[in-house]
């Protein structure tokens, strides 16, 4: 515990040596600013990158299993046979669909009730969209709009018209696709499916999500219309799933794979390269934080060692007067603590001001032409705790060596040194 003696001496020395005190606080504040800035920026970049991927697609896709021929030599009874000669024929793929899907909806929902935030049937398949002489290959998604909006927020990103309340014979398309086709709200387009069915739909809405792949290639129609167009009857092509924590998607997919007779793909599987890039970015950020912390610690320690050597005689005299090793140790440990707490507080204020200013800066995204944050800042309480906790712990640890040197000052040597 800090004694009033240790506290008063520590505070007096800090206020007396203002230059050195301000220098040390400056070092800590700069380190905290750097730690908070780097971690908030990296955090923001990761959130932006992940949300760019995950906000425009289902986190999990549950689909029928592909048909594959059973290979004879994989059978257990064939293991003893020495030679097989032959080829594996390619089976003609039947349309992949899930019949009687409603009971599955309930069963899947019951398997991970806490983790799934949205689970709904979907129908998708390739189509050719045409308007007059223009023909563009696109992806058709048949959905229940109010439910599908939990997977991708189309209603909140409508440039014109509506997504909710989509009626039969109506379609919603992305702003880029609309531009390429030269269509506007209320215009009619033709949809030609791979099954050879042609249908026409009225443009009820044009969305602008900012996700290029979605805005350029996807046509949304009511579930029933898509089932008709793809000749599915009452079947669907799969389930679209959104999970609470996007980074648990692969784990949840693994759990579901063991319990369901379906093929389950997670967004993480499809974006392995991006994820490994994120991990590398995370590692770099941690390295920067570690080196910054060590540098700050060394600076504090160096400045305090100088302080101890300058106070060598006074420390010796205090000890001769009856100051215990513990009291001397506490003086310098307290100084380390006070300096690091002050530095952490100032660093936090400076970084909050800096982050606040930077997060207001905007630029125009080249791909979408939309205004976007120049620095995607994500400041979290975790960043604050890590930055400040590291600074205070570093200050304390860095002060231990000089404090212990101070406590070991031998008053006899001071007296002899006269």
Residues of this chain that interact with another protein (CB under 8 A) are 3-5, 8-9, 12-13, 15-16, 313-314, 316-318, 320-325, 327, 411-412, 414-416, 418
Rounded to a whole number of angstroms, the minimum distance from the CB of residue 309 to another protein is: 15
Residues 380, 355: contact at Cβ < 8 Å?
no
CB of 21 to another protein, least distance (A): 12
Give the torsion sign (CA, 300, 301, 302, 305): positive
Smallest separation, CB 340 to another protein (Å): 21
Nearer to another protein, 15 or 133 (CB): 15
What is residue 357's three-state secondary structure? helix
Residue 246's CB: how many other CB atoms inside 10 A?
Answer: 17
Residue closer to another protein, measured from CB, 149 or 407: 407
Report, in Å, the least distance between residue 297 CB and another protein: 26
What's the rounded Cα separation, in Å, for the pair 75 and 151?
42
Compare residues 324 and 367 and give the one whose CB is closer to another protein.
Answer: 324
Tokens 């995950």 locate to: 54
Instruction: Output the 3-class SS for 205-225.
Output: EEECCCCHHHHHHEEEEEHHH
Residue 321 or 366 with smaller CB distance to another protein: 321
By beta-carbon proximity to another protein, the closer residue of 82 and 417 is: 417
Please list the alpha-helical segments (H only) found in 218-311: 223-229, 249-259, 267-270, 272-310
Q: What is the nearest approach in angstroms of another protein to the Cβ of residue 333?
A: 17
Nearest to another protein of 8, 137 (CB atom): 8
- Name the nearest CA neighbour of 121 among 174, 177, 66, 62: 62
| Minimum distance of another protein from residue 324's CB (angstroms) | 5
**Nearest alpha-carbon partner for 203 in 213, 193, 189:** 189
How far is Cα 203 from Cα 170, in angstroms, rounded to an integer?
Answer: 6
Q: Which is nearer to another protein, 99 or 410 (CB)?
A: 410
User: For residue 215, how far is the Cα from the chain centroid?
Assistant: 23
**What's the distance, CA 206 to chain centroid?**
29
Distance of CA 307 to the CA centre of its chain: 44
Q: How far is the CB of 299 from another protein (least distance, A)?
A: 23
In whole angstroms, give the CA distance from residue 257 to residue 318: 72
Closer residue to another protein (CB): 66 or 413: 413
Is the CB of residue 10 less than 8 Å from the CB of residue 331? yes
Nearest-approach distance from CB 415 to another protein, in angstroms: 6
Shortest CB 7 distance to another protein, Å: 11
- Closer residue to another protein (CB): 81 or 325: 325
Residue 76 carries which DSSP code? G
Q: Would you call 283 helix, strand, or coil by DSSP? A: helix
């Amino acid at each position: 515990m800090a004694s009033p003696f240790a506290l008063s001496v520590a505070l007096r020395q800090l206020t007396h040596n203002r230059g050195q005190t301000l220098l040390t606080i400056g070092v800590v504040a700069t380190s905290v600013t750097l730690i908070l800035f780097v971690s908030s920026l990296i955090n923001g970049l990761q959130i932006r990158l992940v949300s760019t991927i995950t906000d425009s697609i289902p986190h999990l896709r549950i689909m029928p299993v592909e048909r594959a021929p059973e290979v004879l030599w994989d059978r257990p009874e064939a293991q003893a046979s020495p030679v097989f000669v032959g080829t594996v024929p390619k089976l003609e793929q039947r349309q992949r669909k899930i019949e009687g899907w409603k009971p599955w909806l309930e069963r899947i929902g019951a398997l991970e009730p806490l983790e799934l935030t949205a689970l709904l049937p979907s129908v998708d398949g390739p189509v050719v969209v045409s308007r007059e002489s223009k023909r563009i290959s696109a992806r058709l998604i048949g959905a229940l709009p109010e439910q599908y909006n939990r997977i991708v927020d189309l209603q909140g990103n409508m440039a014109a018209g509506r997504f909710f309340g989509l009626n039969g014979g109506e379609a919603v398309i992305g702003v880029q696709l609309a531009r390429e086709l030269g269509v506007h709200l209320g215009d009619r387009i033709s949809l030609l499916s791979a099954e050879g069915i042609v249908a026409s739909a009225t443009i009820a809405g044009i969305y602008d999500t900012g996700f290029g792949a979605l805005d350029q290639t996807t046509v949304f129609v009511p579930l029933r219309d898509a089932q008709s167009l793809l000749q599915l009857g009452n079947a669907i092509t799969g389930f679209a799933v959104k999970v609470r924590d996007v980074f648990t998607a692969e784990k949840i997919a693994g759990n579901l794979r063991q319990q369901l007779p379906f093929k389950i793909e997670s967004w993480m599987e499809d974006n392995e390269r991006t994820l490994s890039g994120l991990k590398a970015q995370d590692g770099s950020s941690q390295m920067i934080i570690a080196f910054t912390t060590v540098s700050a610690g060394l600076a504090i320690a160096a400045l305090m060692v100088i302080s101890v050597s300058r106070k060598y005689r006074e420390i010796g005299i205090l000890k001769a007067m009856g100051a215990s090793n513990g009291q001397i140790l506490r003086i310098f440990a307290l100084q380390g603590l006070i300096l690091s707490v002050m530095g952490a507080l100032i660093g936090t204020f400076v970084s909050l001001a800096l982050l606040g200013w930077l997060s207001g800066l905007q630029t125009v995204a080249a791909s979408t032409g939309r205004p976007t944050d120049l620095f995607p800042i994500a400041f979290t309480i975790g960043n604050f705790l890590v930055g400040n906790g590291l600074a205070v712990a570093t200050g304390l640890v860095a002060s231990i060596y000089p404090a212990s040197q101070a406590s070991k000052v031998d008053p006899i040597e001071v007296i002899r040194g006269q």
